[in-house]
Amino acid sequence: MLVVRAVDKDGKPIEGLSCDPKPDIPGAWGSGDIGYGTAIDGRCRFENVPAMGYWVELSAQAGEDWRVVGRKRVVVPPNGVGRVTIVVATPAGG
């Protein structure tokens, strides 16, 4: 499992960001066409994620486009949970 938490510089959760984990091994895992977003607590969760490293990108909608507002690497251990907190420099929509 992979758990991502998005917060602002004051540590407050940010809701409504797109969350996209990219595996170290291209094509090893894909979230498919289903969009994952951060919930009211700033978290998004991914079940059944293979054990390996991921770059997680958070994106915010800016008009009709999306822009990356945070990026960080995390490792999911075998039979474990990878957890990462990403501090978003620019608030969603800002």
CATH numbers and ranges of domains, the chain? 2-87 (2.60.40.10)
CA distance 44 to 81: 13
Residue-wise pLDDT tens digits, 28-77: 776 554 568 999 999 999 998 899 999 999 999 988 999 999 999 999 99
DSSP at 26: T
Residue 26 pLDDT class (50, 70, 90 cuts) = confident
